[in-house]
Amino acid sequence: EAIAYDLDAPFNIDYHDSVGSTNDRARELAGAGHAGVAVVADEQTASRGRLDREWVSPPGGVWLSVVVRPEAPPAHAPAYTLAMAVAVTRACREAGVDARIKWPNDVLVGDDEGDEAEPTERGGRKLCGVLTEMEGEAERVSWLVVGPGLNANIAPEDLPADAGATSLLAERGEPVDRRVIVQRILEEFDALTADLRGAVDAWEEYADTVGRRVRVDTPGGIVEGEAVGIEFPGALVVDTGEEMVRVTAGDCEHLRP
């Protein structure tokens, strides 16, 4: 089906049948002074996850990157990533898929609690991840690009087999209307980012990580303990048994209690 050109959304749409990376295209537009624009592609040929990992992007996904120019310091950028995860989660739920969030940016469905043998490394099957990039000064960002990749109408065999990935199509058994999904994500993201503290509270509502034992691989080393909450603009608070650690970046693994 055709995707997004003439949506009634709070962003101008820059649509591509195929593009290297919507984040790269959005960065170009941001660098050229654009704001309030959302790059959307049916397929990406050079898309990226965090830390330059590969992101698999066949046709049928919602590959999206939003350019915003908030009056905010760079330190607030994580809240935009959380807001996007909330927006995607809501759009997935409206499509009938019970999505939840794993800190910081993974939208997941289901879990493997029933599997006795393995810890819940993935904490469920991954529907979406968000890559946020920015440029700016210490006091104020010049632009932010917030890029969610949502596996929408993608057959399971076209997803990375070893990564625990799933799609809306696989979960529902029928395709979604991607125009509706894109429109709802953009509307929610726009509303959520008007109140960033509220967005972080909303994130906690959908979070699967809070209340679990976690192991987080951070730039400063491994932090293991119980995730007890989230703190604006996006730090995961982990009770290690000895101290409360605020983790601002890293890969999080859900552990068995």
Considering the complex, what minimum distance in angstroms separates the CB of residue 154 from ligand BT5?
Answer: 7
Cα distances from 78 to residues 68, 97, 104, 245, 247, in angstroms, run 13, 25, 8, 17, 12
Give least dist CB 156 to ligand BT5, A: 11
Q: Are strands 141-150 and 244-247 parallel, antiparallel or unpaired?
A: unpaired
Nearer to ligand BT5, 152 or 210 (CB): 152
- The candidate with the shortest Cα–Cα distance to 53, out of 156, 154, 138, 162, is 162
Residue found under tokens 């810890």: 119
Widest pairwise Cα distance in the chain: 54
Handedness of CA 9, 158, 111, 128 (dihedral sign): negative
Residue (44 or 183) nearer to ligand BT5, CB: 44
Between 2 and 161, name the residue whose CB sits nearer to ligand BT5.
161
The closest residue (CB) to ligand BT5 is 129
User: In the complex, what is the shortest distance from the CB of residue 223 to ligand BT5, in angstroms, rounded to a whole number?
Assistant: 17
Region for 60 from its dihedrals, namely left if φ exceeds 0, alpha if ψ lies in -120 to 50, beta otherwise: left
Please say which residue, 40 or 210, places its beta carbon nearer to ligand BT5. Answer: 40
CB of 217 to ligand BT5, least distance (A): 11
Could you list the residues that contact ligand BT5 (CB under 6 A)?
21-23, 44, 47-51, 53-57, 63-65, 105, 126, 129-131, 147, 149, 151, 159-160, 163, 165
